[in-house]
Chains A and B, each alone.
Chain A
Amino acid sequence: MTSIDSVASSARPKFPGRSLEASSPRWGEKAIFVFLALCGLLSVAVTTAIVISLLIPTIDFFRQVSFEAFFLDTVWAPRQATGRFGVWPIVVGTLNVVFWALLVAIPVGLASAIYLSEYASPRARRTIKPVLEVLAGVPTVAIGLFAFFAMTPAAAALLPFLDWSSLWSVGVAGVAVGLMTVPLVASISDDAMRAVPAALREGGYGLGANKLKVSMRIVFPAAVSGIVASIVLAGSRAVGETMVVLIAAGRTPALTIDPTKSVQTMTAYIAGTATGDIPTGTLDYNTIFAVGTLLFVATLTLNMFAIRLVRRFREVYE
């Protein structure tokens, strides 16, 4: 043993007057590392802050309002003297918007995605994709105003047999939200379909299938997890949309599925209430946070589900 050690240590080269360690402790590098790590940890801090800022007033809220009154009552009238805190009207309002939004976003978005990935020439792709990105970047206030002042009268003119006595219509608002989320569905589904290896398509063509069969029977099923993820993300976006529904769907909570009626969504309730002057700590103030917690949990669940799906389709082919 010792003979091997002495041979090894005598074989190690010794540089005169220089060690291989760094010449200075590099405090600047260490300080920069700490700063960058703090920047990274900020995201965790933000999530924690969101959770804390939502939870504390929510716990306060549930000390005064029972779970049954919140989840089982069907009237939402918190500002009245005999406050009713049944959350179902505003949840159903949100679900209405999501339904109409997905009804528009799924066919239009998927049609755009299939066309862009399977049928479009590279030049058409280069022109159409940026245009869809423009649609994604339009501010929601503009879309809300368009829905209220242009789309609702147009819908009333096109479908006169429905009852349009209410100025606000959740169906029109939902369709506007759906059009807003079309770029999301289109771009993620397009990515998913383009990730399918060319070998699968070419095998299909080689066996004599036409373009329709290859697109719908080979590419579409192979990309289905990415496509479902895009739909779930669009739904999550529709749940969280505020300005369009605030302008076009109205502020009266109503437990209805009639598309021509006005409803209040969870987001519209929060935005409509928090802009007033409500003192901190009152029950009305806490309703904002209780509804906000519900909203946060709903979108978080949908997003985590979608992230898992996206991760799965990215792993399979890469």
Chain B
Amino acid sequence: MATDPMTPTTGRTRLATTGARRATEAALMGGAGGDRLTGLIFQALLLLGLSVALLMLAALLIWSLVEGAPRLGLELLTNGPSTVRPSEAGFRTAILGTLLVVGGVVAVIVPVGVGAAIYLEEYANKERWWNRLIELNIQNLAGVPSIVFGILGLAFIVRGPLSLGFVAAAGSLTLALLVLPTVIIAAREALRAVPPSIRDGSLALGATRWQTIWRQTLPAALPGVLTGVILSIARATGEAAPLLLVGAVTFVTFNPSFFEGGYSVLPVQIFNYSSRPKEEFRVLAMAGVIVMLGLVLLLNSFAVWLRGRFERAW
């Protein structure tokens, strides 16, 4: 080979030309047959894995619809709970309780969550250790199990310093602390996406920092912030574990109020009905699942649509 005048002699060029020759040969001759088969098998396996997840979701939704359909009706929303007569039981008090609790959650997370996000993005000096501690805390809190928030609520909000007792306000506060990291992270992403030129222009025209945030940055970031809030509402609507610890007592026949008395929420009521031995209670529980799934899926889809519709490319 060294005697052939056309063959390159330096190692690097020899390597390059051999590689180029092989690649061209492979492209022109369609590649080895074995390669294509393994490629197809691999792609089939990937699709199989993906379809397991999608099929399970479909199975869950269809099964819930089939199981709960017999009891779907307006009396679900107007009847109170019953321990002995499943045909007359409904979810009225639970739905009212959910509305109260989730309303309280929104009232807390919007000012506090968006406020914390504004502080971290607009005011905080990232070099300082206390601001980094705040960021680290938020990331950690996002991963804490929901039942630990229930323990926090039991120790601090129901008993302990706040001593609110087993009331809907305690449930609201507990859930608000649970979803707060989600809202803060979503709001921060939204604020970060607003280009600095908007802020600089406003400041240059003489606005104060807060005027800039309130009139320019926050309205520009509003879709992202709203998406975070709606996703948190959807999450709070479906949470049962922390509320079990904070007194979402499952048998309330009176309409709940915010600061007094017992309360119940939809997921906990479903859980309670499902653990009763009578078959009719199970069907009732599944009807409740349909209502809850419908609500949660509606909220989630709305949030996703909102994010897609108002996404601005600056």
Write the residues of chain A forming the contact surface with B, with a CB cutoff of 8 angstroms.
26, 28-29, 32-33, 35-37, 39-44, 46-47, 49-50, 53-54, 57, 107-112, 114-116, 119, 128, 130-135, 137-146, 149-150, 179, 182-183, 186, 206-208, 210-212, 216, 233, 236-237, 239-243, 246-247, 267, 270-271, 274-275, 280, 288-289, 292, 295-296, 299-300, 302-304, 306-307
Contact = CB atoms under 8 A, between A and B. Distances in A.
A145 B301 CA distance: 23
B140 A135 contact: no
B124 interface: yes
A150 B150 CA distance: 29
Interface in B18-67: 19, 22-23, 26-27, 31, 35-36, 38-39, 42-43, 45-50, 52-54, 56-57, 59-60, 63-64, 67
A210 B39 contact: yes
Given A134-B57, A137-B296, A43 B141 contact: yes
Contact of A43 (B54, B59, B181, B292): B181
From A54, A111, A116, A206, residue with most partner B Cβ within 10 Å: A111
B120 interface: yes
Contacts of B209: 29
Given A40-B120, A42-B112, A208-B26, A111 B296 contact: no
11 contacts: A28-B210, A43-B138, A46-B180, A112-B49, A132-B53, A134-B57, A134-B300, A140-B238, A208-B19, A239-B145, A300-B140
Given A133-B304, A138-B60, 13 more contacts: A36-B119, A40-B120, A43-B180, A110-B49, A137-B235, A140-B238, A141-B238, A141-B289, A146-B59, A267-B145, A271-B244, A289-B155, A296-B144
A72 B210 CA distance: 58
A292 B151 contact: yes
Given A43-B184, A270-B147, A50 B152 contact: yes
Contacts of A247: 271, 274-275
Contacts of A270: 147, 150-151, 245
Nearest to A120: B50
A299 B144 contact: yes
Nearest to B48: A111
Nearest to B305: A130
A26 B208 contact: yes
B53 A142 contact: no
A137 B241 CA distance: 15
Interface string B136-163: 0111110111111111101110011000
B126 to A, nearest CB: 12
Interface of B: 19, 22-23, 26-27, 31, 35-36, 38-39, 42-43, 45-50, 52-54, 56-57, 59-60, 63-64, 67, 111-113, 115-116, 118-120, 123-124, 131, 133-134, 137-141, 143-152, 154-156, 159-160, 177, 180-181, 184, 208-210, 231, 234-235, 237-241, 244-245, 267, 270-271, 274-275, 282, 285-286, 289, 292-293, 296-297, 300-301, 304
